[in-house]
Amino acid sequence: MLRDSHKGGQPPEFGKLRDYLPATCVTAAVLTKLAKHLALLASLTILGEATGRIAVSQLAIFILVVLAALSHTIGCTLQLRLRKRVVLNKGVP
């Protein structure tokens, strides 16, 4: 496949892949990891409030859950875009 892109002495065309730099992979991984940590924090906050050890407003718990959901959604979307790009380019990211 790489030989086909070198026809006429032209370098492979990577201009289309500017949106998918290694930073995108790292960002997707960080966002999904952050989502897991936020979900764990929300769960522990709910448990702490239920046992009476800490006093946290319901709004704070709701915000934690929403942030966890958003970061998970964005991270998964980035990962899916990267996978689709790799499949369409036959293994070349």
The answer to whether residue 42 sits within a structural domain is: yes
The answer as to whether 84 is a domain residue is yes
Cα separation values, 11 from 1, 2, 76, 91, Å: 13, 10, 32, 18
Q: Span 72-81, mean pLDDT?
A: 91
Averaged confidence pLDDT in the chain? 79
Tell me the CB-side half-sphere exposure of residue 1, using CA atoms within 13 A.
6
Q: Against a cut of 0.75, is the pTM above it?
A: no
Of 2-6, 47-51, 62-66, the one with minimum mean pLDDT is: 2-6
pLDDT value at residue 6: 47
- Tell me what pLDDT residue 50 has: 92
The span from the CA of 70 to the CA of 61, in Å, is: 14
Give how many domains the chain has, as a whole number: 1
Domain-embedded: residue 50: yes
The domain of 84 spans 21-88
In single-letter form, the type of residue at position 76 comes to C
pLDDT at 87: 65
Residue 11, pLDDT score: 46
